[in-house]
Amino acid sequence: MNFALMNFTGVKHAATTSAPVGAADLTVVGGGGHVGIPLVLAFAEAGYRVNVHDTNRAVLETLQSGRLPFIEYGGEDLLAKALKQNRLVFTSSPAEISRTGPLIITIGTPIDEFLNPVRKVVQDCIDALLPHLADGQLLVLRSTVFPGTTEWLDGYLTRNNRALKVAFCPERTVQGHGIKELRETPQIISGTTPAAEAEAGKLFSAIAPELVMVSPREAELAKLFNNAYRYIEFAAANQFYLIAKAAGLDYRRIYDAMKRNYPRARGIPTPGLAAGPCLMKDTAQLAAFAQNQFSLGNAAMLVNEGLVLHICDDLRRRYDLSRMTVGLLGMAFKAEIDDTRASLSYKFKKVLANLAGAVLTTDPFVSTDAELLALEEVIARSDILILCAPHSAYRDLDFAGKPVVDVWGFLAQGERDLVARHAEFVGTRLATLSEGKEGSHALVDAVTKSVRAPAGLWAGIFHMKNNDGSAHESNP
């Protein structure tokens, strides 16, 4: 028996009931989203009855059926328990929302196509809810917001003769692992009045290990600084990688040298695609707040977004891509999750669509993209592969001797960056030939052509015999 209670105004097929929502201890607006779900489950686990409010009815129905709409590690057991204990009340219409208890807003807060923050989404959400909220209720903004939004909201409510308490308590957990991280991460608390701050602190003390009390503007900046700093760290790693690559060096070896048993280098991340719905968006929000004087943030965007362009350009210079098929491994924006939002894998796909003969894509987690193919098919049909998301399933794969671009330094076999390997091989070969007074021009010519040839030829070249007659290892 399913104890969850649906309360969808206007939903044709869902049973509705009005009683339970009044019994909710708190409401999470956007409760079916990536931030909302772990938060809902954490409060339910702490004994609260939660009004899960979301305009996306499909997501609510999925939750009500005991399934998560996306990967949230540790979430399914908590959801089953919360449903069993009758702790969740689902609503999708503002008119159905709980008029008692705090309201936590976790809706998406995007930037527009010109990288400007869009405050309107917050205002539209509040405008829809306001007629159904009671004065005295605590309204907590948890979405990442442009600095000043919390004070703006407070003033907006006052101008509309409403007396709700306003707080800003940002979410800082990492996607997919929110349940674990909510238990471990200090919670930043701020309010526009001492009463709002105190009530927000009391609320989050039920699920957070530690509270950090600051003013709303400090909290807004702390959240943006956290994300922008992470984004800049990734950009530094990516730029180091590009510098080493331009110098013809293997960055994996340098990375190991920098970090091994050297505590001050512990935090240096690997290079890789820095993507997802938050890091660049929040760096852009901070840049807008800083009157576009956030030079480090802007540089980080250029490096991180530019990494894809650099790799594509590099491949274009080395191969006749128009006659080749490129396979993209991992379309989620990071490892071991199914979220494709703002994934740089799709930037690869777009750029390569103009350069390559064909682009094939695969991902073991993503279920929302009808163009994805099975991994085996992508490997079999591709001439070159690019590791986009370092899912653990890819680590020990056999790529059938095909070249693989691995910026992350993740694959057990190492990056098969063809030309680097190839140049190494050709160098040895030319030296041998010149010592043996063989004509090297024919080989140089053959090699030059092979650089523009499909994978079959590569396999042939890599398996030529060494001087001692042993097979040349293409996969060290």
Ligand X SMILES: NC(=O)c1ccc[n+]([C@@H]2O[C@H](COP(=O)([O-])OP(=O)(O)OC[C@H]3O[C@@H](n4cnc5c(N)ncnc54)[C@H](O)[C@@H]3O)[C@@H](O)[C@H]2O)c1
Residue type, 402: K
* Contact pick of 30, 101, 102, 216 for ligand X (by CB under 6 A): 30
User: Which is closer to ligand X, CB of 36 or CB of 191?
Assistant: 36
Choose the stretch contacting ligand X; rule: CB under 6 A; options: 105-113, 259-267, 385-393, 465-473: 105-113
Binding piece for ligand X, criterion CB under 6 A, among 32-40, 82-90, 131-139, 300-308? 32-40
Nearer to ligand X, 76 or 181 (CB): 181
Size of interface with ligand X, in residues (CB under 6 A) = 25
Q: Examine residue 144 and tell whether it contacts ligand X (CB under 6 A).
A: yes
Give Cα separations from 443 to 62, 327, 403, 419, 434 (angstroms): 61, 29, 21, 15, 11
Task: Give CA–CA dist 319/384, Å, rounded.
Answer: 10
- Taking residues 40 to 79 in sequence order and writing x for each that binds ligand X by CB under 6 A, - otherwise, the string is -------------xxxx--x--------------------
CA distance 161 to 470: 84
Residue with Cβ nearer ligand X (35 or 375) = 35
Give the count of alpha carbons within 13 A of 424, CB side only. 13
Task: Pick between residue 97 and residue 321 the one whose CB is nearest to ligand X.
Answer: 97
Please answer whether residues 384 and 443 qualify as being in contact, where contact means their C-beta atoms are separated by less than 8 angstroms: no
Judged by CB, which is closer to ligand X: 182, or 378? 182
Residues 151-210 touching ligand X, rule: CB under 6 A, are 171, 173, 175
Nearest approach, Cβ of 428 to ligand X (angstroms)?
Answer: 48
Of the two residues 171 and 199, which places its CB atom closer to ligand X in the complex?
A: 171
Q: How far is the CB of 119 from ligand X (least distance, A)?
A: 12
Q: 211 or 373: whose CB is closer to ligand X?
A: 211
Smaller CB separation from ligand X, 160 or 467 = 160
Q: Using CB under 6 A, which residues numbered 208 to 247 contact ligand X?
A: none
Report the residue closest to ligand X, judged by CB: 33
For the CB of residue 253, give the shortest distance to ligand X in the complex, in Å. 33
CB of 5 to ligand X, least distance (A): 18
CB 312, min distance to ligand X, A:
27
CB 67, min distance to ligand X, A: 15
Least distance in angstroms from the C-beta of 169 to ligand X: 11
Q: Which is nearer to ligand X, 45 or 72 (CB)?
A: 72
Of 27-35, 132-140, 343-351, 457-465, the segment contacting ligand X by CB under 6 A is 27-35
Among 7, 137, 143, 149, binds ligand X (CB under 6 A): 143
Distances (CA, A) of 43 to 85, 146, 180, 379, 452: 13, 26, 13, 44, 58
Using CB under 6 A as the binding rule, the residues of this chain from 273 to 302 that contact ligand X are 277-278
| Nearest-angstrom CA–CA distance, 314 and 318 | 6
Question: Between residues 96 and 417, which has the closer beta carbon with respect to ligand X?
Answer: 96
Q: Which of 68, 89, 103, 125 binds ligand X (CB under 6 A)?
A: 125
Residues forming the site for ligand X (CB under 6 A): 29-30, 32-36, 53-56, 59, 106-109, 125, 128, 143-144, 171, 173, 175, 277-278
